[in-house]
Chains A and B, each alone.
Chain A
Amino acid sequence: QVQLQESGPGLVKPSGTLSLTCTVSGGSINYPYWWSWVRQPPGKGLEWIGDIYHSGTTDYNPSLKSRVTISVDKSKNQFSLRLNSVTAADTAVYYCARWSDGYNLYFFDYWGQGTLVTVSS
């Protein structure tokens, strides 16, 4: 059973950098999946941030692309998110998830529990 777990600071100062790590257990991050970040502001809907493929290829939401970097550390079975120049609008629960496929149909099948990141001075 694949499990994902987010970790990182819960409080970030405005204009600072948000950094989170997702640790994958129960399976190798080196398998051919996309590994994703999704966020949810309090009381609001879901927003896809971006993905990284096991090879290191990335795909980002254009609305965040200038501020986002997603990277992978295969030796630790982890992938990470960095979001620069944060503002209060970046306050959200951040989820890591696996983008998987079945018969060429794609979906998020495994999710972390989520971690709340608050941007405040």
Chain B
Amino acid sequence: QKEVEQNSGPLSVPEGAIASLNCTYSDRGSQSFFWYRQYSGKSPELIMSIYSNGDKEDGRFTAQLNKASQYVSLLIRDSQPSDSATYLCAVNMAGRWGLTGGGNKLTFGTGTQLKVEL
């Protein structure tokens, strides 16, 4: 089982629709979760972070976290062609900050490619 798993896609949605991106993780003790957007040929850009169960909204983006089920999702409302990119899920896989147990780094999924079609 991969530590952080995402469907590679591509996920195609029409313009104006809601795009739903999902991520599951293996470490039940993980506390911090992040979504990055990566345009083709560019570096990842942080768009959302979430630490507690429930929803966190920022503009058109909503991150959802369910620690019991070990998944985190990203919803993009009113999807635009400019949202077309690969979305990376990142997890700090430790129960606390520190240099052991994976807390020293973010573990990334391989990303989901999103295509927003006109």
A and B from one complex: no
- Residues of chain B touching chain A, judged by Cβ–Cβ distance below 8 Å, are none
- Residues of chain A touching chain B, judged by Cβ–Cβ distance below 8 Å, are none
